[in-house]
Amino acid sequence: MTLEITTARPESALLDLPWSTPLEEWPESHLAALPRGISRHVVRFVKLGPRVLAVKEIKDDIADREYAMLRSLRRLDVPCVEPFGVVHGRTTADGEPLDACLITRHLQFSLPYRALYSQNLRPDTAVRLMDALAVLLVRLHLEGFWWGDVSLSNTLFRRDAGAFAAYLVDAETGELHSRLSDGQREHDLDIARVNIAGELMDLAAGGFLEEHADPFEVSASIIERYHTLWHALTGTERFEAGDRWRVDERIRRLNELGFDVDELSITTDIGGTEIVITPKVVDAGHHSRRLLRLTGLDVGENQARRLLNDLDAYAAATDRQGDDEEIVAHDWLAKIYEPVTRAVPRELTGRLEPAEIFHEVLEHRWYMSERAGHDTPIEDALRDYVQTVLPAKPEEKAVLGVDTEEMPVISRFD
């Protein structure tokens, strides 16, 4: 058989990897020390020049299908890992056939849920983790994607201004439709409820879950959060004709949730006494798109919201609220944001991504000001944060020494 490598972009260094060796036996010299989540397949992180890639060994047809599905999801701007390539025609030195390999880019600053729980998450932090998964599932369903294997194990999490953002990792069971029926959505939710409860029971058995946390209650909270968000984004709202301001209010509420409305369906009854509005097309990333347009910063949605709030505070403090927004944003970027992120010592830059560090410096300044009883200059807050807080953070760009495959597993819902 002939080795066949299909990639989204040319990368000759792929030829140097030991494709004739089963993935489980690849030498340490090719591997990156990153935490791995639970998977029914063999997965390894591989160093390829400046990149880190995730390589998964699976059957040929499944590899092709998942590669195509991830490419489709990326085109829809759904939060998921980036597909990099597929390798077919692998054989051992003795000519024995080997499974294909799916290659994806490692998502920097992301962690599997078991690595996060190994850091002894506080109960409120664990709740935010579940909220992130609920938001991801809503976004997937809005795009017509039926996951079919919703679980914490098939998700990666990145910190997003004190909350988390969730990214789909495993799409091999997924199906993309023009629109999902209520039955398809509820089927995904039933799968989520069972899988997540089982995963949390594993954590509880290993002593990694907060003592009084009920796995079934936590799992059910994801479903409740999902239904609340789904109704806010797609539900029909009725009001009297004299309350037309509620149309703008509905749009603002959706913007606050991080979604843009491309179209509204607005109907009135024959007498014109009642108005009915229903969002027709809803896109996520309202704040991140606005920040990207103003500053060129491409960050998480909650991070963007926090940075925009600081930008607005900067405009007010400098009495420039009536100036051109893009000019003010450029000055804020040059005088506030970049001096903070560039002041972080090189040896600490892998702790958190720059936007998250900026968010934490703002939080740190607020606490310092509260203790002092007056405003603390951001320079003082940055200095104290770098000295007392950041060095204690785990290395999230490349977390070493946390192999979640070594954490106990009682039951798997594969």
Q: Compute the half-sphere exposure of residue 355: CA atoms within 13 Å on the CB side of its CA.
A: 24
pLDDT of residue 414: 36
Shared domain for 309 and 338, answered yes or no, is yes
Same domain, 319 and 204: no
DSSP, collapsed to helix, strand or coil, labels residue 39 as: coil
371 lies in the same domain as 340:
yes
Tell me the residue range of the domain where 16 lies.
4-106
Residue 300 confidence (pLDDT) above 80: yes
Residues 99 and 152 in one domain: no
In terms of Cα–Cα distance, which of 142, 169, 11 is closest to 79? 169
What is the tally of structural domains in the chain? 4
Tokens of 307: 């940075």
Query: Considering the domain boundaries, does residue 399 fall inside one?
Result: no
> Would you say 342 and 334 are in contact if contact means Cβ atoms under 8 Å apart?
no
Query: Hey, what amino acid is at 387?
Result: Q
Do 191 and 142 reside in the same domain of the chain? yes
Domain end among 106, 131, 165: 106
- For the ranges 152-156, 330-334, 363-367, 402-406, the lowest mean pLDDT is seen at 402-406
Outline where 244-377 has alpha helix (H).
245-256, 286-295, 301-317, 325-332, 338-342, 354-372
**Residue 414, in any domain of the structure:** no
| 398 located within any domain | no
**Could you tell me if 200 and 166 are in contact, meaning their C-beta atoms sit under 8 angstroms apart?**
no
pLDDT: which is higher, 183 or 253? 183
208 backbone dihedrals φ, ψ, rounded to 5°: -100, -5
- Assigned domain for 151 exists: yes
Burial of 173 (0-12, 13-18, 19+ CB in 10 A): middle
The DSSP secondary-structure symbol of 202 reads H
Q: Do the domain assignments include residue 400?
A: no
Does residue 298 lie within any of the structural domains? Answer: no
Contact (CB, 8 A) for 270 and 125 = no
- Cα(321)–Cα(313) distance, integer angstroms: 9
* Residue 87: per-residue pLDDT: 94
| Helical residues (DSSP H) of 21-112, grouped into ranges | 60-75
pLDDT band per the 50, 70, 90 thresholds, residue 163: confident
Beta-sheet strand order (sheet of 163-168): 110-112, 155-160, 163-168
- Any idea what the CATH number is for the domain that residue 223 is in? 1.10.510.10
| pLDDT grade for 370, boundaries at 50, 70 and 90 | confident
39-to-57, 151, 152, 155, 170 alpha-carbon distances in Å? 11, 11, 11, 11, 9
Beta-carbon contacts of 102 under 8 Å, excluding residues fewer than 6 positions away, are: 55, 56, 58, 63, 66, 67, 83, 86
pLDDT at 56: 94
Average pLDDT, integer, range 68-76 = 94
d(CA 357, CA 225): 28
Pick from 85, 106, 127: which residue ends a domain?
106
Residues contacting 396, CB < 8 A, separation 6+: 109, 111, 159, 350, 351, 352, 353
Question: pLDDT band for position 283 (50/70/90)?
Answer: low
Task: Please give the pLDDT value at position 120.
Answer: 58
Both 49 and 119 in one domain: the answer is: no
* Whole-angstrom distance, CA of residue 286 vs CA of residue 256: 8
Residues with Cβ within 8 Å of residue 377, at least 6 apart in sequence: none
Instruction: Say yes or no: 85 and 19 in one domain.
Output: yes
Q: Is residue 292 part of a domain?
A: no
Looking at the fold, whether 206 and 120 belong to one and the same domain comes out as yes
Mean pLDDT of 190-206: 90
Q: Taking Cα atoms as reference points, which of 161, 162, 166, 156 lies closest to residue 134?
A: 166
**Is it the case that residue 181 has pLDDT exceeding 90?**
yes
Cα distances from 20 to residues 10, 46, 93, in angstroms, run: 21, 15, 6
pLDDT tens per residue across span 87-127 = 999 999 888 999 999 999 988 888 888 877 776 556 666 77
34-59 confidence digits (pLDDT tens)? 666 667 788 998 888 778 899 999 99
> Model confidence at 403, in pLDDT bands (50, 70, 90)?
very low
Which tokens in the block code for residue 376? Answer: 């603390």
At 404, the amino acid letter reads T
90 in Cβ contact with 98 (< 8 Å): yes
CA–CA gap between residue 111 and residue 169 (Å, rounded) = 11
List the CATH number of the domain containing 31. Answer: 3.30.200
Euclidean distance between CA atoms 300 and 287, whole angstroms: 9
Per-residue DSSP letter, 375: P
Top-confidence residue, 286 or 349: 349
**What is the residue whose two structure tokens read 């490419």?**
71
Mean pLDDT over each residue of the chain, to the nearest integer: 83
In terms of domains, do 276 and 229 share one?
A: no
User: Is the CB of residue 191 less than 8 Å from the CB of residue 414?
Assistant: no
* Residue 217 sits in the same domain as residue 230: yes
Minimum mean pLDDT range among 4-8, 154-158, 220-224, 233-237: 233-237
Give CA separation, 274 vs 224, 231, 253, 303, in Å.
Answer: 30, 20, 21, 39
242 and 350 fall within a common domain: no
pLDDT exceeds 60 at position 371:
yes
Q: What is the pLDDT of residue 242?
A: 66
Cα(63)–Cα(70) distance, rounded to whole angstroms? 11
Does 219 lie in the same domain as 129? yes
Q: Which residue has the higher pLDDT, 270 or 221?
A: 221
In a domain, 177, yes or no: yes
d(CA 209, CA 126): 9
pLDDT digits (tens, 9 = 90+) for 310-338: 898 888 888 888 888 889 999 999 999 99
